[in-house]
């Protein structure tokens, strides 16, 4: 509310069109369709997907890539970037769906240097490398926060961070929870699994792959997986305790 009253923009930042633009920046070629007025230069600025996985995507670096920011700093560029993004998705739906599908798969098979572990190691190194400490200190008034680090939380995070295999297992168990559970538990697993999968897909449908985008989906997928295991154990127990010759199973 306060940000909107001061800037006229809803949200924590004034650059709401930049991340959706990143989604189409790798494939929008404007062949066979006319870009919105004033956005023609963006047609020739196709960006390799690997450039978007790195910390600090190119779109924020106006000094190194002035073509993207030629419309002015946010929020001045929002309207043109948003119009270009919508046109690219409308005229190249196949490319858009392909990009989203590819990025969803990267949560399971992350590119080299773009996994959750890589991100954690980068954050850890940013505390200890003197040039990084100096750069971070320029952004924060609490200099001690940028120059000190607790090794225990970092070590814990590196030990338990979710790998691509872990995410794949959670997705499989989350989907398996639907047939394994019954009654109200089944309804709960449908909600949890759908929520987790929606969070994964929505994050790359409106932006690009970043390893941290998997984190919000882990909680509902883990809960659905736990219910799947509980349902499997219950079914096994029912089969073992079912009288010989009996048909059907107990219902909750």
- Gap between the Cα atoms of 145 and 205, Å rounded: 34
pLDDT at 84 over 80: yes
Supply the mean pLDDT for the chain.
Answer: 76
What pLDDT is attached to residue 147? 44
Q: Would you say the pTM of this structure is higher than 0.75? A: no
- The per-residue pLDDT for range 10-26, each reduced to its tens digit, is 666 666 777 788 888 88
Both tokens assigned to 47 = 């960006």
More confident residue, 140 or 171: 171
Q: Which helix (H) or strand (E) holds 218?
A: helix 215-241
Question: Nearest 5 degrees, angle CA 194-CA 199-CA 202?
Answer: 115
pLDDT at 202 over 80: yes
Does pLDDT of 200 surpass 90?
Answer: yes
With cut-offs at 50, 70 and 90, classify the pLDDT of residue 73: low
Nearest to 109, CA basis, from 55, 162, 163: 163
Question: Is the Cβ–Cβ distance between 52 and 58 less than 8 Å?
Answer: yes
Q: How far apart are CA 37 and CA 57, in angstroms?
A: 25
pLDDT band at 125 (very low <50, low <70, confident <90, very high): low
The average pLDDT across 79-91 equals: 91
For the ranges 43-47, 164-168, 177-181, 182-186, the lowest mean pLDDT is seen at 43-47
Confidence label for 151 from pLDDT (cuts 50, 70 and 90): low
- Tell me which of 163 and 122 has the higher pLDDT: 163
Express each pLDDT in 18-66 by its tens digit: 778 888 888 888 999 999 988 888 887 766 666 666 544 444 545 444 4
pLDDT in tens, 210-233: 888 888 999 999 999 999 999 888
State the pLDDT at residue 146: 45
At residue 252, the pLDDT reads: 47
pLDDT at 130 over 60: no
**Residue 51, burial from CB neighbour count under 10 angstroms (0-12, 13-18, 19+):** middle
The whole-number pLDDT of residue 250 equals 47
């Amino acid at each position: 509310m306060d940000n909107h009253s001061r800037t006229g923009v809803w949200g924590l930042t004034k650059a709401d069109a930049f991340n959706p633009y990143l989604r189409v920046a790798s494939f929008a070629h404007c062949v066979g369709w006319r870009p919105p007025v004033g956005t023609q230069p963006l047609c020739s600025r196709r960006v390799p997907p690997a450039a978007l996985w790195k910390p600090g995507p190119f779109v924020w670096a106006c000094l190194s890539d002035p073509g993207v920011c030629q419309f002015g700093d946010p929020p001045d560029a929002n309207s043109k970037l948003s119009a270009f993004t919508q046109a690219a998705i409308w005229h190249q739906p196949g490319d858009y769906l392909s990009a989203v599908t590819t990025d969803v798969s990267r949560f399971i098979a992350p590119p080299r240097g773009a996994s959750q572990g890589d991100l954690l190691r980068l954050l850890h190194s940013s505390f200890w490398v003197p040039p990084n400490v100096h750069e971070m200190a320029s952004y924060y008034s609490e200099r001690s926060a940028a120059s000190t680090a607790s090794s225990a939380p970092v070590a814990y995070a590196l030990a338990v961070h979710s790998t691509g295999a872990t995410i794949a297992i959670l997705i499989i168990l989350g989907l398996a929870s639907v047939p394994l559970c019954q009654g109200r538990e089944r309804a709960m697993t449908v909600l949890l699994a759908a929520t987790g999968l929606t969070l994964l897909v929505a994050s790359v449908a409106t932006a690009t792959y970043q390893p941290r985008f998997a984190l919000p989906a882990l909680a509902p997928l883990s809960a659905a997986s736990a219910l799947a295991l509980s349902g499997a154990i219950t079914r096994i127990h029912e089969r073992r305790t079912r009288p010989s010759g009996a048909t059907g199973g107990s219902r909750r």
